[in-house]
Amino acid sequence: MTRTPRWAQSWTVVRAVAAALIAAAVIAQASRTIGGMVDAGGDVFTTVVNFFSFFTILSNVLSVVALGWAAIWFWTRGRSREIPEPRSLAVALACATSYMIVTGIVYNVLLRGIPLPQGTTVPWSNEVLHVVGPIVLLADLFLGPRRRPLPWRAIAEVLVLPVVWVVYTLVRGPLTTNPNTGEPYWYPYPFLNPNSFAEGYATVAVYVVGIAIVIALAAWLVVWVGRRRGMAAVGDAAEDRAAALI
Q: End-to-end alpha-carbon separation of the chain, Å?
A: 24
Asked whether the beta carbons of 129 and 29 are under 8 A apart, the reply is yes
The domain of 134 spans 5-245
pLDDT digits (tens, 9 = 90+) for 50-69: 999 999 999 999 999 999 99
Q: What is the spatial distance between Cα 122 and Cα 28, in angstroms, rounded to a whole number?
A: 7
Confidence of residue 82 (pLDDT cuts 50, 70, 90): low
pLDDT the model gives residue 25: 97
Q: Cβ(56)–Cβ(33) under 8 Å?
A: no
* Percentage of residues of the chain with pLDDT beyond 90: 66
φ, ψ (nearest 5 deg) of residue 153: -65, -10
Residue 243 is predicted with a pLDDT of 37
Residue 206 has pLDDT above 90, yes or no: yes
Q: For 153-198, what is each residue's pLDDT tens digit?
A: 999 999 999 999 999 999 999 999 999 889 999 999 988 999 999 8
Q: How confident is the model at residue 3 (pLDDT cuts 50, 70, 90)?
A: low
Residue type, 228: R
- The pTM of this model reads 0.88
Q: How many domains does the chain have?
A: 1
What pLDDT shows up at residue 79? Answer: 63
Residue 225: the pLDDT is 94
Share of the chain above pLDDT 70, in %: 88
For residues 117 and 109, give the distance between their C-alpha atoms in angstroms, rounded to a whole number.
20
Reported confidence tier of residue 16, pLDDT bands at 50, 70, 90: very high
Nearest to 54 by CA among 26, 31, 15: 26
